[in-house]
Amino acid sequence: VEEDTDREEEEEEEFQTPKQAPPSNSKHSLEIAPSSVTATTDQITPSSSNLSPAASMLLGASHHSDLSSSLPQLFPSTNLNNASSTRSDQTITIDFLKDDPKTMTYSRRIALWLMDRYYWYNPKMKPPLSNNNSKPYESVPTYNQSAIGNNDVEEAVEIAIVSKGSLSRDDNYNPVLEQAWVYWEHITLARRLVDINQALIREGKKAMEKKNKKKGFKAEMKGKAEEVKGKLSQGNRKLAVAKPGEDEIKTKLYSPITTPLNQMGDFGLGVGLYFGTLRAFTVLLIIAGLMNIPNIIFFSGEQYSRGQEGINWMLKGSAACSRYEWVPCIDCVYETSQLVSKESYRIQNVKDAVSGREMTFVLKTMCDGALFRVGMVNFGTVLLVIVGMIVIAMYLNKKHVDFDLDEQTASDYSITIRNPPKDASDPNEWKDFFEKNFPDAEGMHVASCTVAVDNDDLLDCLVQRRQLLKHLKQALPDIKNVKDVRELEAIAAKIKDGRNCFQRQWAKLCGGVPAKYEYLLQLNAKIKKLSQVDSPVTRVFVMFETEKAQRYVLEKLTVSRYDVKMNKVTSIADPKHLFPRDGLDDLVLDVCESGEPSTIRWKELNLTMRDLYVKLIVTLFVFGIIALVAFIIKLLNDKNSSWAAMGITIGNIVFPLVAKIISKFERHSREEEYQVWLYFKIAVFRWVNTALVIAIIVPFSATIIPIDGVLPTVYKIFFAEIITSNLIQLLDPVENIKRHYLAPRQDTQEKMNNCFLGATVFLAERYTNLTKIVFLALLYCPIYPSVLFMGAIALWINYFTDRFGLMRTWRRMPKIGESISRYTKLYVFPVMVIIMTFFAVWVWKSYRFDYVCDTANKVPSEYYGNYTLNETDILDDFIMDRRVTIGDNSVYSVFCATGETMTESQNKLVTTYENASYTIYAIVGFVILMTSIFILRSYFVASYEPNGKEQGIPLSEVESMTAYIPQISCASSPYPYLACNIDDIEESDKFEWEDPLRPYEYYDITKDAEELLDEDGIPMDESKRIFSKIIYWEKR
């Protein structure tokens, strides 16, 4: 799905300068927007001059005179007589419909080939018949965004925001599948700039134009571009992420193959660290596998099991034993034997053919792998893993700094105040506090301030109302204004009166328009009430112009949590740094570095102890699910080990979905916290389900048998992880069905684009997959050293399949930080080492896994004779002889517990290993204890340490910088709803996303509350803290 690597450099040169596409009469062409437009009620001349680059990209520009008849209905309160807009420059816009096929994904190429040839693929291939004979590709009406009133945005977008799309359900314009694929590759998927210098010069040009500095532009910008490029460059290749819909500078998709690891931080610090961890553990497992080659040779040699003849080739080199022998066991009682209930084929009562004397025989394993030299190789592997994990932790710390230096993000310039006064809701007040009281900070300028309030109930109601209105619109396509409660009331009453008995009963279960109408009335009433309530301030996010200013403020204000809770004013050296409060003591601020804007969960900032209890209850519920799944796996394993392996794989795929559902009951203030808790749940499940369940449910004596035992199951699990899981991920069946089947059958461009949003994948889930593979390999390497190589192969394949998913199939992840990586280093690594060591000691102590111990006692003469044992249906091919002769030199065996009798070499190995393991337990326990003490100490002792070196790049010069804009994600909307008034920032270019079909104000749900209050003649009280506030101040 990726262009050839050797062709990439040629395309780099080709894309250095964007070229204006020549005019074309093709139905797939887009026109350059006209330089000016004047709109009246008689006629609208379309323009994209007021649209964002992404919107212009999907709109095009052409005149459609028939639109005038629809304007009075669609813009009832909008005055279009004086609306006008003038474009100051002619910007060359790249036509995405004319992307070079070599730069497209194969999926898009196939779709473009099919959509114009086969009606079964694209039902909209044939244009519908109409009175004016116009075709869906011939002309596209757009709208003048400045001419739309705040209350009419939702209605406006219904007619004019679909490029080459329909104006309404009843007109002759259809949604265009080509544009949906453009949306997929240029909005959903991440792209990079082909030429960084062009981006830098463009941003410099904008800044220069604002300051009216025209002289010396080229020389100054060239020097500045080289300077900034030098500061940003890391590694042997520098890539710069492009904004969604970038249409002024050539961009291309990131390559899953050739994108260097140093640039994976473009997708977020956490993502970069994840791929660094994947690569590091791949190398570690390869080295560990090479160390275990002597054990692989020993297990596959003549000494252990005579070359493991007849064993599956994938099990050769493991401890799978191919030599078994029936031995007499006089003291064994068949009816009470512990083997009867577990593996009855390993014990038989057989009569002598002559005397008729009955004797008990048990199946003895003839393979002895508990040799001192074999165990020491495994012990060396444990030490290697310990050292390797320490090195990996150090490596990840270094990569953390590298990724942080490579990407300038909002968190590099921002702080969060976690205990603001409940009434300190004015951003200007916070701006004045920092700028006046921290004058010594270099480059002190507050660029942005966001004040978040605790209005969760109001936001919930507003989002639910938006969803409800969408459903009503779909159910009532002919209604002009779905918000008109009077019209809805009449329609609901008519539907209710027309129902028969069956329909009334069905409506009680499934609702319908009348039920939705009644719920809408309830929401409207609740919103009106909550929109007049004062909400306390919960968080304040402050962005500074420079990193030095941020670090200076953090250094001066960082105190212990205890000092914050007790408001210990003496903990602050300079009294000016205390926040003043009317009538109260000055406040010690609880300050920390902010996370990325995309990781803030704006509805869940005000957490209580109840939320902690809910997290614990949900986590306990997960353990119940684990027990249930373990029982199911046991039932499957009793039938067939292949079924158990498949059940384990399915469980590993399905449980993350279950974990995400039950995690909805939890509340987390940041996405990182949410994903750490999700990581814990999924990791525990996958560890137990994949590695530990097999060891528990499979009978002890089946540990090293070559058929239906532990080893074949482990091999099948790895096979599923290497082949099945990655194949499903690459095929991406659900999302491909959406894109290739459902999308062509949608009736609006928005619905069609929604099929191209990509799969939602959590970084926590990918980390658990990584740790699961590593844990499985380390756990079973004593008896199956080849799994170290299998684990390395699985991680290596995952490295590229996850890169492919990230760059070709998944929707963009929130840019979370290092929380999951830090949790892995501090807790997951030590737990892995402890369990690995414990299991290894158990393995060497339990050899030969058959409950049979040799004795020097001879069999009594009355048992002499010839005995023929029955077939076992399992190990017949590996039993040395089913005919046993008992004579003068025959000795009998007895049942014994694990480790009760050991050979001299085995006893030496176990003693050495156990003593060393106690030291390992003590060291790992000490590390965990000191980590816990350090975390506890941070509650009483202040500590601030800047992470990495500041780059000296002002915030205003970072093109991709985004602000902390309160927003709420919703599954039914491709973009989040804005939870604050955005009038002052809509033109600031500080949003993380951009809808090419709608303006930002469409998603502003504060307007909904204003509309509802206006219906009752109640103005929005600006003096009350109803919604969060944000102000962005340009650097003067």
> What would the pLDDT profile of 839-878 be if each residue is shown by its tens digit?
999 999 888 888 788 888 888 888 888 888 888 777 878 8
CB 232 within 8 A of CB 200: no
Mean pLDDT confidence for 647-670 = 85
Task: Tell whether the model's pLDDT for residue 165 goes beyond 70.
Answer: no
Helical H segments across 698-762, by residue range: 710-719, 725-731, 733-737, 749-754
Residue 281 pLDDT class (50, 70, 90 cuts)? very high
**Residue 836 to residues 731, 832, 833: CA-CA distances in angstroms?**
34, 6, 5
Give the span between the Cα atoms of 241 and 267, in whole angstroms. 8
> CB within 8 A of 858, min separation 6: which ones?
888, 889, 890, 891, 892
| 642: its two tokens | 């292949």
The pLDDT tens digits of the residues spanning 282-327 come to 999 999 999 999 999 999 998 898 888 888 888 899 999 988 888 8
- 850, 700 contact by CB (below 8 A): no
b/e string for 628-653 if b means 16 or more Cβ within 10 A?
Answer: ebbeebbebbeeebeebbbbbbebbe
Higher pLDDT, 212 or 321: 321
Average pLDDT, integer, range 1019-1026: 86
855 to 370, 711, 849, 895: CA distances (angstroms): 19, 29, 17, 10
Q: Could you tell me the sign of the dihedral formed by the alpha carbons of 336, 339, 341, 347, in that order?
A: negative
Strand ranges (DSSP E) for 553-657?
A: 591-593
Beta-carbon contacts of residue 822 (< 8 Å; ≥ 6 apart): none
The answer, yes or no, to whether residue 475 has pLDDT greater than 90, is no
Q: What is the mean pLDDT of residues 980-1002?
A: 80
Provide CB contacts within 8 A for 663, sequence distance 6+.
618, 674, 677, 678, 681
Dist CA 479 CA 517 (whole Å):
14
What pairing do the DSSP bridges indicate for beta strands 537-544 and 414-417? Answer: antiparallel
The mean per-residue pLDDT over the stretch 75-102 comes to 52
CB 789 within 8 A of CB 289: yes
CA gap 871, 867 in Å, rounded = 13
Cα separation, 817 vs 955, whole angstroms: 19
Q: End-to-end CA distance of the chain, in Å? A: 47
Size of the chain in residues: 1036
Tell me which residue of 606, 613, 630, 645 sits closest to 685, measured CA to CA.
Answer: 630
Tokens 């002792």 correspond to 941
What kind and span of H or E run contains 318? none
Max mean pLDDT range (44-48, 66-70, 960-964): 960-964
Backbone dihedral region for residue 949 (phi beyond 0: left; psi -120 to 50: alpha; all else: beta): beta
The amino acid sitting at 317 is G
Q: What is the pLDDT of residue 139?
A: 34
Higher local confidence (pLDDT), 78 or 656? 656
Strand-pair partners of 945:
none
Q: Give the alpha-carbon dihedral of 1018, 1021, 1027, 1033, to 10 degrees.
A: 130
CA torsion sign for 372, 374, 380, 382 is negative
Q: What is the mean pLDDT of residues 679-694?
A: 85
pLDDT one-digit tens code per residue, 770-781: 999 999 999 999
Angle, in degrees to the nearest 10, between helices 710-719 and 763-780? 150
Weakest mean pLDDT among 201-215, 374-388, 938-952: 201-215
Q: For 581-614, what is each residue's pLDDT tens digit?
A: 877 888 999 999 998 888 898 888 888 888 888 8
Q: Is the dihedral of CA 356, 362, 368, 370 positive or negative?
A: negative
Under a CB-based contact definition with an 8 Å cutoff, are residues 725 and 649 in contact? yes
Dist CA 814 CA 670 (whole Å): 10
Task: Say if CB 139 and CB 126 are below 8 A apart.
Answer: no
* Burial class for 947, CB neighbours closer than 10 Å (0-12, 13-18, 19+): middle
Helices (DSSP H) in 558-596: which residue ranges? 561-565
Residue 499 has pLDDT above 60, yes or no: yes
Reported confidence tier of residue 911, pLDDT bands at 50, 70, 90: very high
d(CA 107, CA 105): 5
The SS3 of residue 366 is: coil
Whether the CB-CB separation of 258 and 1 falls below 8 Å is answered with no
Percent of the chain with pLDDT over 90: 26
- Give the residue from 103, 247, 97, 112 showing the smallest Cα distance to 179: 97
Single-letter amino acid code for the residue at 569: V
Comparing 537-546, 703-712, 797-806, the range with the smallest average pLDDT is: 703-712
Compare 160 and 847 and report the one with higher pLDDT.
847
675 by Cβ neighbours in 10 Å (0-12 / 13-18 / 19+) ranks as: buried
CB of 412 within 8 A of CB of 547? yes
pTM of the predicted model, to two decimals? 0.79
| Residue 667 reports pLDDT greater than 90 | no
Dig out the tokens for 489 from the structure: 């009331």
* CA dihedral of 704, 706, 707, 708, whole degrees rounded to 10: 30
Question: Do the Cβ atoms of 399 and 276 come closer than 8 Å?
Answer: yes
- Give the model's confidence band at 126: pLDDT under 50 very low, under 70 low, under 90 confident, else very high: low
Which residues touch 640 (CB under 8 Å, ≥6 apart)?
708
Predicted pLDDT of residue 17: 39
Q: Which residues contact 1023 (CB under 8 A, 6 or more apart)?
A: none
